[in-house]
Amino acid sequence: MRTSKRTTFSKNVASAEPDWDETRESLPNILNWYSYNKTQDDAKEYLLDYAKYLNFEKSDIKLLTTSRERVNTSIAWLSRLLLITLSADQDIKTRIIDELNRIISIEKNKTKATPQVDKKPSVNVQENIRSKLAEYLGEINFQLDLILHSIRKNEPIEFSLKDWLSSNKVSAIQVKNISTYFKTHVISELLEAQAKTCEQLTEAYSFLSAKQLKAYIDVIQQFISDSDEQHLVKKQMLVHNRTPRKVTKSPLKQVAKLKYLKEHNELKSVMPTKIIGAKAIVVYNAESRVATYYECDNNHGLAIKGCTLLNYDVTKSISKILRMPEMVLPTILNDGRVSVRNTLRDIAAKNKTANGRFNDNSLILRVF
């Protein structure tokens, strides 16, 4: 599903806050503005200001001030809007108060806990991951409420999960958990409601027309696609950021277990040992007709481990299906690196996510 381009506020520059006309229709654009221009620290400050405006107890204000708990940014942006406009929107006000009470409750429970003097307190990593995931899903589900509203009003959808995951610096494991959540708890229910195989689910989503339900399914499927792609990117970045070992294998040993196709028709593979330390390579799958351009992301060059390419930049890699290989392959085989990269980039086909894997159908066409 394609989302529309983000709206630019004509009356405001990047440093100025947008005006709210107190309608729900304008909220997605405004919340996106805050997400891109403000930080988690700003969000905490906005919630604290609203708590003071509501005359919370001084003890609670102190807990909110010293708390390091991650706040729901969408709720924080709403508290800022209500404070600026002095709006009396009761539904939004209730959400804000619930968020403030959540943080206060967490801090009070911390205070009640008896500190262990003789040993360090144990940290439950899994519990911390689950807690963070619940916070992330709370913010995403809030955006889904706005998306549903836009779908029913036939309005453009402004929220991008890929951008949200990136701007909030969500970790690889949490991105994977978000994808799993939508795969196991959301999309299956929606597909059952669409197929009308479950009477309860059909009734639950009866407020949406068939066209609106399909649009909502497309949104969830795009969420899954975005989170899977972000997980792959972050996982690859973790591999790239690891400190290289002092003892490195020779090029011959690195490619000893590499699976590749030596030749196909008139095409022949470059010796795989030339990949080690290269700036870029082009790999062509003779069966699927997919050509992939990989570019190195550091000064050490590309490397091989087993059947996997290492040290390539996921964001600069290009992977396209060649519908007419006879038209493109001559350029790949004869032109310079920049020309080859631009040729693949300009092919009118969807760019696949490069995974760096080799198999028995992989031809190593070029090494730069």
The reported pLDDT for the residue numbered 2 is 39
The reported pLDDT for the residue numbered 5 is 36
Q: What percent of the chain has pLDDT over 90?
A: 24
114 class by beta-carbon count within 10 Å (0-12 exposed, 13-18 middle, 19+ buried): exposed
Task: Flag the least confident range among 95-109, 112-126, 161-175, 352-366.
Answer: 112-126
CA–CA dist 350, 319 (Å, integer) = 8
pTM, two decimal places: 0.42
The pLDDT of residue 3 is above 80 = no
Extents of the domains making up the chain: 24-114+125-240, 251-367
Which residues in the chain belong to E strands, given as ranges? 263-264, 267-268, 280-285, 290-295, 303-305, 308-310, 318-321, 362-367
Read off the pLDDT of residues 168-201 as tens digits, 9 standing for 90 and up.
Answer: 888 888 889 998 989 988 898 889 889 988 888 8
The reported pLDDT for the residue numbered 366 is 93
Closest CA to 147 of 161, 126, 134, 133: 161
The reported pLDDT for the residue numbered 244 is 55
Q: What percent of the chain has pLDDT over 70?
A: 89
CB-based contact 70:43 (threshold 8 Å): no
Residue 272, beta-bridge partner list: none
Average pLDDT over residues 260-271: 91
Read off the pLDDT of residues 140-164 as tens digits, 9 standing for 90 and up.
Answer: 888 888 898 889 888 888 888 988 9
Average pLDDT over residues 193-219: 88
206 class by beta-carbon count within 10 Å (0-12 exposed, 13-18 middle, 19+ buried): exposed
